[in-house]
Each structure stands twice: as C-alpha cells, then as structure tokens.
Amino acid sequence: MIERRSIFMEQKIKVDFTKQTGKIKPMHAVNNVPCMPYDTHENNLFAKLQEAGVPYGRLHDTGGRFGGAHFVDIENIFPDFDADETEPASYDFAFTDRLLEEMVKYGIEPFFRLGATIENFHFLRAYHIYPPKDFHKWARICAGIVRHYNEGWAGGYHFGIRYWEIWNEPDNTPDVEDNPMWKGTPEQFFEMYDITARHLKALFPSIRVGGYGSCGFYAINTDSFIRDAHSSPRVGYFIDFMDRFLEYCQKNGTVLDFFSWHSYADVEDNVRYAAYARKKLEQYGYGGVEIFLNEWNPGIAEKGRLRDAANIAAGMCALQKTSTDMCMYYDAQITSTYCGLFNFTTHDVYKAYYAFFGFHKLYQLSNEAFSETGAENVYVCAAVDGFKGGVLLVNRNMEECRFSLAVKGANPDEAVCYAVDEAHDFERISWPGSTITMQGNALWYVEFKVKES
C-alpha cells in the first residue's frame, strides 16, 4: 500500500481572541444575483444568497449581453437620450425595479453601476459604450435614477442605496477601436466622471460616489496577463490610465468616495495589488477613500470543484487583512460562465458557495481577532463577539496538511467544527483539538467559547 502523502507544518497557526485588530469587512459580496429579475425555480437561489449572508450585489453585466436589453444600464433605463430627463415617462424602470425589489427582499444591498455592460462583440457593432453626447445631461439622468431608488421619485422607492459607481473598465484597451467598454479618450472619461460625481454629491450628499472599475495592476508582476480577465494584454496601460485619472482628480478636486478595481489573479498577487492600490491613492491625496476589489474570480478552470472553494475562501481571508474595504466576486448569475456558486442545470450549490457561507459566520461576529500562519498555503481568519469566537481555516495545498493551532482566550480542545471537503458540505465533524489534519483544498469553520477576560 502506498502511504498517502502528507505535508507537516511545524509552524503554529495562532489565534488570539483577546486581541481585536479591526472589523470583519464584506469580503463575501458578489456581482449580480442568480436569476433575472427573480427566481422561479423550486431551489430559490436568492434565498441561498440570503442564507450565506451576501451583503451586496454589484449591478454590472446584469442580465447578460447589453444588460439583457432592459436591466440597469443607462441606455436601457433611459433609451432615448433626447427625451426630457425630468419626465418620469422618459425612463423604463420596470425590470430593474423588479430585480432590486427582489434583492432588497433577501437582504442584498444593490451596488449600482451607472454605465454600460461590456460589449465583447463591439467589433460587429458597438451600441452603448460611446461617450454620452452631453455629459451634463447624462449626469442629470443618473440623478433621476438615484432619486427613483432612494427618494421615491417616479413611483420609486426609498432603498437607501449607498454606493453608485460611475462606469466600468474604461481603461480596458488603449486603442479606441479595440475597447469593449469605452469608445472615447481617457480625457473624455475623466471629464464625464468629474461632472457626474459632482452633480450626484451635490444633490445626494449622503451617497458614496466612485469608480471606475479599473482593469487592475497585473503590470507590477512580470508574468502579468490573465486571460480570464478579457482585457488588453497591454496591462501597463491600466496603471498609466489610473495615474492620469488620479492626477486629473487631484488637480480638479474631483469627488472620489471610493476606488474600484478588478483582478482575475492568484491570492497572493491580489494581496500585492491591494497594497499597490492603496499606495497609489495615498500618493495623489486620496488615501482615505474606500477601496473595493469589486470584480474578482480566482479562475474559471476550477469551477464546480472543491479547489474553487479553497481558492475563494483563501482570497477572502487574505484580503480581509489588507486595506481592501470590500470584495465582490464575479459572478453570481447562474447563466454566467464565471458563476462558480450554482449549478445551472440543477440549481444546486457548488462547494464554492460554502466559502461565502463560512465567511459570513465571521462577518456576523463583527470584530476581527488576531490570527497568523506561517504554514505555506494555509490561510486563517478569526473573529470574536463577546463570548463567541470563530475561525475560518483554509488548506489550499493539494495534499492533506497537518499543523498545530495555538488559541489564546479560548480552550483549543473545546470547539465545534464544520467542514467543507469532498465528503462534507459545511457539515459538523469531530474536532481534533490543537493538532489538526486537513484534507487538501478543505476549509473548516470552527466555533469557540471565548473565556471571560
């Protein structure tokens, strides 16, 4: 018999429930929701997202190509640019209304992208990705949408949507003819962003306005092009565009409440990119803005497999410990190639779903507790609330891994453990105590009773 290979890690994983290091942030947000505009299947996937505590759903590429013709995109909601933007009849809110009603019903806060869906077949014909012919009117149209969803205008709602993102990936490609997101110059985008952000903040000072969904920072690596990103291999342009955008904002005092960026890279690369984004913003005087990795996916090749769950959970744990304020996985639409959460045929959940479910357990505890690991490819994140403590452990090695766990503030031998592995779907298993052996690509959520200090 061949002995199964095991990796032994001499380093301890350490958790200290007596030492709080900040707040658990929404690393388990998503792009979109499973079905448009609601779920008619007996396995209600909106309810599944609610059970996983998904806090936000970013509305971009919503409904498929061209925003499904009727969802979210400015040219879907306001189809005739020459119409009167002060008249409710000029807007078509029907399908977007129904979608947002469903999101709010299940506790998923909309993160509203103002702009257009990516047009990957723009070389046949581009439709909605040209610069608006009047930036000021475009800003007023955006204001009509905010007013509808937050102030009840035009038979609308009082959803209190906080985050409004201007456009997506205008930097996708340096050549206008090749760009599937912005058929204009960088300078045109900067001006449109500035006009729109100022107008929205003047009218609605409590909302958060930002952008622009940067294609990312692959260029700080040498082997940098990620095919899954569907962007230009000329990744240095992404950074050049960011520098020019921030220089424009700094010079003009442009409103920037948050900066958003994208990545389809590995966990440790994303950690480096997050640090780079913060450093860049500080360099231009925007160090205090929120930073969102609001489109990320560790790769579609592992979709439906346990490995995908490990990659996603590891990413959440690692990025929680950076200055990133939120992560939004791309994509939760069941029809999307990038959706690793749900099986399109059966409407059952994949293993990756439990990464979100597990991280939400930490999010519910609110306070991050100190944790660290020296074990290669083993990730940890801990949280505490009063006498409750939780630890998310992820073994991203392909082989089983053995390591020791040192816990301060709780008895390491008294815990309740839930496993996600080839045999378990967030199911309780016996807790081994302070010496742990985890299967390859497994993730565990462990509950502790925290001692009175």
Q: Of 295, 303, 341, whose CA–CA distance to 52 is shortest?
A: 341
**Backbone angles phi and psi of 298, in degrees to 5:** -75, 0
Residues 384 and 339 occupy one common structural domain: no
CATH code where residue 350 lies: 3.20.20.80
By the 10 Å C-beta count (0-12 exposed, 13-18 middle, 19+ buried), 96 is classed as buried
Task: Please give the share of the chain, as a percent, with pLDDT higher than 70.
Answer: 95
pLDDT score recorded for residue 65: 85
Task: Give the Cα separation of 299 and 314 in Å (integer).
Answer: 13
Contacts of 86 (CB under 8 A, 6+ apart): 144
User: What confidence category does residue 333 fall into, taking pLDDT thresholds of 50, 70 and 90?
Assistant: very high
Can you read off the two tokens belonging to residue 233? 């291999």
Contacts of 439 (CB under 8 A, 6+ apart): 395, 400, 421, 422
What average pLDDT does this structure show over 34-58? 94
Radius of gyration, CA atoms only, the chain: 22
Q: Is the pLDDT of residue 202 over 70?
A: yes
Q: Which of 323, 346, 364 is the last residue of a domain?
A: 364
With respect to residue 91, please indicate whether it lies within any of the assigned structural domains.
yes
Residues 328 and 263 occupy one common structural domain: yes
Residues 302 and 433 occupy one common structural domain: no
Q: How many CB atoms lie within 10 A of CB 219?
A: 16
pLDDT score recorded for residue 6: 56
pLDDT score recorded for residue 142: 99
What average pLDDT does this structure show over 107-134? 96
When comparing pLDDT for 9 and 157, which is higher?
A: 157
Q: Which of 331, 364, 397 is the last residue of a domain?
A: 364
Q: How far is CA 66 from CA 11, 69, 163, in A?
A: 51, 6, 22
Residues 209 and 320 occupy one common structural domain: yes
Task: Kindly report the average pLDDT of the chain as a whole number.
Answer: 95
| 347-398 tens-digit pLDDT | 999 999 999 999 999 999 999 999 999 888 999 999 999 999 999 999 999 9
Residues 138 and 200 occupy one common structural domain: yes
Q: Is the pLDDT of residue 3 over 50?
A: no
With respect to residue 1, please indicate whether it lies within any of the assigned structural domains.
no
Contacts of 407 (CB under 8 A, 6+ apart): 14, 15, 16, 17, 391, 434, 448
Residues 255 and 112 occupy one common structural domain: yes
| 52-89 tens-digit pLDDT | 999 999 999 999 887 788 999 999 999 999 999 999 99
Residues 297 and 417 occupy one common structural domain: no
Q: Is 66 helix (H, G, I), strand (E, B) or coil?
A: helix
Task: Please give the share of the chain, as a percent, with pLDDT higher than 90.
Answer: 89
Q: Of 192, 172, 190, 191, whose CA–CA distance to 182 is shortest?
A: 172
Residues 11 and 48 occupy one common structural domain: no
pLDDT score recorded for residue 1: 36
User: What confidence category does residue 4 fall into, taking pLDDT thresholds of 50, 70 and 90?
Assistant: very low
Total number of domains in the chain: 2
**Whole-structure pTM value:** 0.95
Domain containing 136 equals 26-364
Q: Is the pLDDT of residue 18 over 70?
A: yes
**Backbone angles phi and psi of 148, in degrees to 5:** -65, -45
| Edge-first strand listing for the sheet containing 410-420 | 425-429, 410-420, 443-450, 388-395, 378-385, 367-373, 6-23, 400-408, 435-438
User: What confidence category does residue 200 fall into, taking pLDDT thresholds of 50, 70 and 90?
Assistant: very high
Dihedral angle over CA of 116, 324, 404, 358, nearest 10: -40
Task: Give the Cα separation of 320 and 307 in Å (integer).
Answer: 20
